Amino acid sequence: MNTKLNPVERAIIVVAAYSIAILAVVLLYFAWYRPAALIFGAFAVPLILGASFLRFSGGLLLGLGTALIGIPFLGFDHPGLIVGLVVTDLAVGGGIGWLNRRSAVRRERWRRAKTLQDGYEQEIFDNSLNILHFIDKDGTVLKRNETSRGVIGYPTKRSLTLIEYVHPEDMDHMKTELVRLFERGELRDVKLRFIAQTRKVIPVELRATRISERAAIVEARDLRQQAELERRLMEAEARYRYLIEEAVDTLDSGIIITDRKHQVVWANEAIGRFFGIDRDRLIGIDAMRAFSRYVGVFDNAEDFGRTVQKAIESGERIDSYTCHVRPGMGREERVLAFRSIPIETERYTGGRIDHYIDITKLKRLENGLREKTKRLERSYEKLEEYSRVVSHDLKSPLHTLETFSGFLIEDYEDKLDEEGRKYLHTLKNASMRMRELIDDLRDLSNIHLDSTSFERVPVARIVDEIKEDLEVDLQGVNLRIDPDLPPVMGSKIQVRQVFHNLIVNAVKFNDKALPVIHVGWVRDERHRGMHTFFVQDNGIGIESRHHERIFGLFEKLNPREHYEGTGAGLAICKRIVEEHGGEIWVESEIGKGSTFYFTLPKAAVRNEVKIHA
């Protein structure tokens, strides 16, 4: 470690030491210790000069040595003087060495700190990612970093001014900012362009700080990457804007967009096509003024105008308003649904989007459907009337035929031969089947339900009632009924008819010694809002190719002489289930039995509250 003092420090130490020495000589002299004063004065000079170049320990040794040399001159008969001389020399030598050491330590610390700071600042300066220049008041570049040399170029040894880097069009701006820098002390966010040695234009952003009256540091951030990103972003925005505009132009709906000042900023091609006007004439003008240019095409123009003006002034939305456009002037007759929605995003708050949706075809379909519905209702009425008339007109002669054939069998059976009796029985059975067919036709034509008339139907109770009614038919049949059959919403009579027909069919088409019928329900997530019921038997079964056919009217798969019935039972079940919004289907295997599934609407859960007094 270097402990050498500078001349000023050494001079101060020597002067202080000599002053102390002179003061001590004077005190000794006037205290009549003249020999001691002379001896101290003689040795004080080398002591002080030697100690000024030593540390604390060296000063103490030098002071002790000086005292030992002076003791013989004083004599050993003066112990007080000897002690005073030793103490004084040690104090002077040690004190000067101690001061010398402290000064050296402070100087070394300052030197180390200065070296570290200079190295740190130099490293930061050279390795900065931004362009750095030290300049004087005239703009001359005093020092530049590696980034400056790499980006801008130009020889390092050449004397340059900051102005030489600047684009000619930004020259005056740069000069003005340099003057402002040394007047105000700093610059912030100054954007201009540099010209590199390769003639490339480099957009930069300047920040500068004045560090003295004639010097400043200037930092320039290269904006080329940012400019490239902004350019790509602008291109992407332009592409998306064109894409959106073209997409909006291809819509069948007319769209008008207004800003927060209520001025039209966009109108698509459908607007011009709907109203027979040039859409470009609407852009840039007040919304109500633009509206006045085409409102005359509407049948309800006055009422529509008041509605639109009120919505614009109040900022309210219009969810649906039906407009009728009159034909003429290059436009077709149309029915439009108008909607006006305020824009509530942070950037565009206050604007609106107006939609004109062409519902002409929809209205025509609605009108056609309404007319068809009316015709269908009239057809239903006529069909019901016809079925009533036919059933009444047919049942009268059938009743006569059935009655008299019965009389003949009862009164004249013994007078007829075998063939005659056979003919009479055939005639009676045919008339009975004809009456059943007429009843089934009447029942089928009368199945027309309105969901508003549906009621809560307790299925479990209805099935129990059917079991009681069919007690005779169910003799020898194992009928199992799930105890938790859920209630449904529908027509109680029609629901009862479905279960009745399916149970009767399960008994009728069963060839087993012990027929087994199971009535229950399953949880089926495929049919939301519906309960799925089933009637299962171990009967003759149905081939898979007939699973759809059996639900047709009067479809019988078995010979009439084997199984009684008209074949309308399953058709009636299908019609009832469909009128309730459900489905019916069968799963079966020949010889093993069949399972008929059908769905009916769930009944709402009733909340029964019991109040205890």
Torsional class of 267: left (φ above 0), alpha (ψ -120 to 50), beta (otherwise): beta
End-to-end CA distance of the chain: 104
Give the CA-trace dihedral at 468, 469, 471, 474, to 10 degrees.
Answer: -110
Return the pLDDT at 600. 94
Cα(33)–Cα(45) distance, integer angstroms: 19
Which range among 137-151, 255-269, 393-407, 555-569 shows the weakest confidence by mean pLDDT? 555-569
Looking up tokens 């008994």 gives: 507
pLDDT bracket for residue 224 (50, 70, 90) = confident
Return the pLDDT at 314. 85
Above pLDDT 90, what percent of the chain?
12
Is the model more confident about 68 or about 182? 182
Cα(295)–Cα(434) distance, integer angstroms: 68
* 455 pLDDT more than 50: yes
CA distances from 159 to 78, 179, 314 (A): 78, 20, 69
Q: What is the mean pLDDT of the chain?
A: 76
**Which residues, 6+ apart, have CB-to-CB distance to 467 below 8 Å?**
474, 479, 481
Which range among 174-178, 299-303, 439-443 shows the weakest confidence by mean pLDDT? 439-443
Average pLDDT over residues 522-544: 90
* 293 pLDDT more than 70: yes
Question: pLDDT, tens digit, for every residue of 278-292?
Answer: 888 888 899 899 888
Which range among 2-6, 222-226, 365-369, 379-383 shows the weakest confidence by mean pLDDT? 2-6
Assign 592 to helix, strand or coil.
coil
**Which residues, 6+ apart, have CB-to-CB distance to 28 below 8 Å?**
34, 36, 37, 40
* 107 pLDDT more than 70: no
Is the CB of residue 148 less than 8 Å from the CB of residue 160? no
Return the pLDDT at 459. 94
* 87 pLDDT more than 70: no
Cα(69)–Cα(240) distance, integer angstroms: 102
CA angle 254, 259, 261 (to 5 degrees): 130
Q: Which amino acid is at 28?
A: L
pLDDT bracket for residue 485 (50, 70, 90) = very high
Return the pLDDT at 535. 95
Q: What is the pTM of this model?
A: 0.38
Average pLDDT over residues 180-187: 89
* 428 pLDDT more than 80: no
